[in-house]
Structure 1
Amino acid sequence: MSRSAITLSLVCATTLVLGACMSTPPTQTVHITQERLLGEWSLVRVGSQRVSDVMTLDFRDDGILLGSVRCNSMSGPYDVRSARIVFPDGVIITAAGCGKRPPSSQSAADTAERVLFRSPVATFALSYDLQKLFVTGNSMLQFQRIR
């Protein structure tokens, strides 16, 4: 095998491996409704970065979102309109000091807040099994259903 063929093979293999790590919405999704969204979700990925203990969302049947961002709590009304989750009055997030956390945790929290609450062009998708919520803006967020 020539050196260029080996190099090409390694590039292709690397691309496949890295592509499998990227978080993209599944091709089979279901329409988002309030009933399908109800429950608690945990942020597990920001772009290609796995995260934990960064953000939780609890969509309640009374149209209120409760949750946490790192050590801060959040709440606000939400509505599902045309397959989008809308926060008509914004979301209030407390601003308590969270102590020392890795910079990656703060960066993931900042990105998640920006995409979820401040991106006017964010798109939302639910996996076919209703266990994953994908939010795409200038970055991809993936939430896993907790309950």
Structure 2
Amino acid sequence: MDGAPTAPETIKEAEQEITRVPLVLHRRNFSWLTERISGVVEQPAPRWWWVAFAITASTATFGLFCIGYQISTGVGTWGNQIPVGWAWDITNFVFWIGIGHAGTLISAILFLLRQKWRTSINRSAEAMTLFAVICAAIFPGIHVGRFWMAW
């Protein structure tokens, strides 16, 4: 065993203190850190946030109106007057199911390979899977149009 450390040498090396870089630089105190972190949610929202929120809310309201209109009048609102097996709704359903499978596959591959850095990616992949399943669940209900006539 050439050059291998003996037991006393190993113990001396282990007893040395490990110096770390401080997590908060410039010797800031805890009150500054608390104000910096919690100030984001405790201060009023900036004007750009309200503009973005208004645009998003109006788009969501328009989408809900379109879904309600389509449920009340039927699938003909899509311009699909001829009954077909694979239309826009079924295609979207299959797309969202595929996205859900992709999220599950990403999570499973990282788990099977025992990657230590997989935690945040797994969270994102599993959240993607849940939202994709929710989106996919909407389409069977929408594709029948006037659901009270679906039999």
Q: Same fold (TM over 0.5)?
A: no
Q: Which has the higher strand share?
A: 1
Q: Which has the higher helix share?
A: 2
Structure number with bigger Rg: 2
